[in-house]
Structure 1
């Protein structure tokens, strides 16, 4: 599974990077926007944990997104020093357009896969993500 997921991820990442001039979204900023689209407002540490990325990297991506008016900070009632970030209208429009374009491309790559096969694949991948922090490889 890992031998296939790694190359697949890198290929998709290259496609996103190639689309950057068109969409204006780097891979990192796109990931932040997609995370906020799916989960609503989050803090930088929450985003880092959700994506298994360093807080510093996520902060740089959030800063880039904010510079382009794609996200904005809002007060966090649970923690004064760690603001929540949410999509702006422009950010929501940009990530919605990017996801729609990506889905259109992916539909062309279907290879005759059924909905049941795709659903099973998603279940397996979600379970692997969920349990990966608890598996000892050494």
Structure 2
């Protein structure tokens, strides 16, 4: 892949990110880029474009967000990401009730303590999303 193709794909990833994340998350990409252009290439171009856009065309964004949220909750170490991907589930049309049902199912596989541990992150996502909707309207 030449540099022009990498730049094109990077820019497509930035555009896709803008559609999938709440506005307050938009500066994150520039923060990653300023910290390390190499890390930005892996996270943004490869992760957000190649994997999310090109390599997984059969899965909807909603499906990808459900899988991502379940994986992050199972890991149980990155609360900011759990908040962000809960918000993304809502952006993709999931209801809060559906998110809560994901938590209920996960209790069988990862245990109640991990679900209790993520409750604040999920509540924060609900609040952020509600505020976003209120600000739009």
Alignment TM-score, normalising by the size of structure 1: 0.32
Return the structure number with greater relative CO, CA threshold 8 A, min gap 6. 2
Higher helix share: 2
Higher strand share: 1
From the CA coordinates, give the structure whose radius of gyration is larger: 1
Alignment TM-score, normalising by the size of structure 2: 0.32
